[in-house]
Chains A and B, each alone.
Chain A
Amino acid sequence: MATGIGRGNCRLAAGGKVSTASHRAQHAAEHRDNHLDEHRDEHRHEHRHEHRAGHQDEYRDQDRDLHKDLHRDLHKDLVLPYGDQLNDGVVQVSFTLPVAAGALAEEAARQAMRLMGLEDPQVAEAAAVGENATFFVGYGKLTRPVELSKLRVAKPMWEELDQGTINRLVHETLGRPMVVVGAATGQDAHTLGLDAILNYKGFAGNRGLEAYSAFKVINMGSQVPNEVLVAKAREAKADAILVSQVVTERNVHLANLTNLVELLEAEGLRDKVVLVVGGPRITHALAIELGYDAGFGPGTRPQDVASYLAQEIARRHVELGPLHE
Chain B
Amino acid sequence: MLRLNIDAKTVDRCHEIADNITSRVMEELSSLSTVAIERTVARFAGVDGVTGDGVPLPNVLVDHLVQKGKIHDGVAIHLANACLALGKTPVQVAQMVAGGETDISSLEWQGTQEVTKKAREMVQDCLDKIKARRAEREALLEELPVTQTPWLYVICATGNIHEDAVQGRLAASQGADVIAVIRSTGQSLLDFVPHGLTTEGFGGTYATQANFRLMREALDEESRKLGRYVRLVNYCSGLCMPEIAYMGAVERLDMMLNDAMYGILFRDINMERTFVDQNFSRMINAYAGIIINTGEDNYLTTVEAFDAGPQVLASQFMNYHFAKKAGLKDEQIGLGHAFEIDPGIQDSLSYELAMALLVRQLFPACPIKYMPPTVHKTGDIFSSHVLDSSFNLVSVLTGQTIHLVGMLTEAIHTPLIQDRYLSIKSAAYMRRAAKHLGHNLQVKPGGLLETRAASILEDTLELLEEVNQEGLFAAISEGVFAGVKRQRTGGKGREGVFKKSRWYFNPVEAALRAELLGVS
Chain B hits for A195, CB < 8 A: 302
Picked from B159, B186, B379, B417, the residue with its CB within 8 Å of the CB of A129 is B417
Distance, CA A221 to CA B413, complexed state (A): 21
Contact between chains at B268 and A221 (CB < 8 Å): yes
Interface residues on B, range: 20 to 34
The residue in chain B whose Cβ has the minimal distance to the Cβ of A195 is: B302
- B487 interfacial by beta-carbon distance below 8 Å: no
Chain A hits for B386, CB < 8 A: none
Picked from B173, B202, B413, the residue with its CB within 8 Å of the CB of A252 is B202
B186 to chain A, nearest CB (A): 4
B174 to chain A, nearest CB (A): 6
Distance, CA A244 to CA B503, complexed state (A): 49
- B511 interfacial by beta-carbon distance below 8 Å: no
Picked from A96, A133, A188, A249, the residue with its CB within 8 Å of the CB of B159 is A249
- A83 interfacial by beta-carbon distance below 8 Å: no
B376 to chain A, nearest CB (A): 8
Q: A298-B411, A299-B378, A299-B379 are in contact. Are A96 and B417 (CB under 8 A)?
A: yes
Contact between chains at B185 and A247 (CB < 8 Å): yes
Chain A hits for B422, CB < 8 A: 135
A87 to chain B, nearest CB (A): 23
B263 to chain A, nearest CB (A): 12
Most A CB within 10 A of own CB, among B203, B301, B304: B203
- B192 interfacial by beta-carbon distance below 8 Å: no
Picked from A135, A201, A252, the residue with its CB within 8 Å of the CB of B421 is A135
Chain B hits for A190, CB < 8 A: 185
- A6 interfacial by beta-carbon distance below 8 Å: no
Chain B hits for A187, CB < 8 A: 185-186, 202
Mark interface residues in A105-131 (1 if CB within 8 Å of B CB, else 0).
000000000000000000000010111
Contact between chains at A130 and B418 (CB < 8 Å): no
Of the A-B pairs whose beta carbons lie under 8 Å apart in the complex, a sample of 25, sorted by A's number, is: A96-B416, A129-B170, A129-B421, A130-B173, A130-B174, A133-B170, A133-B417, A135-B417, A135-B422, A187-B202, A189-B186, A189-B203, A190-B185, A192-B301, A192-B375, A195-B302, A201-B303, A223-B186, A223-B189, A247-B185, A252-B202, A298-B378, A298-B379, A298-B411, A299-B379
In the complex, chain B residues 179-202 whose Cβ is within 8 Å of any chain A Cβ:
185-186, 188-189, 200-202
In the complex, chain A residues 190-230 whose Cβ is within 8 Å of any chain B Cβ:
190, 192, 195, 201, 221, 223
- A81 interfacial by beta-carbon distance below 8 Å: no
Q: A130-B173, A188-B185 are in contact. Are A135 and B411 (CB under 8 A)?
A: no
A283 to chain B, nearest CB (A): 14
Mark interface residues in A249-287 (1 if CB within 8 Å of B CB, else 0).
110100000000000000000000000000010000000
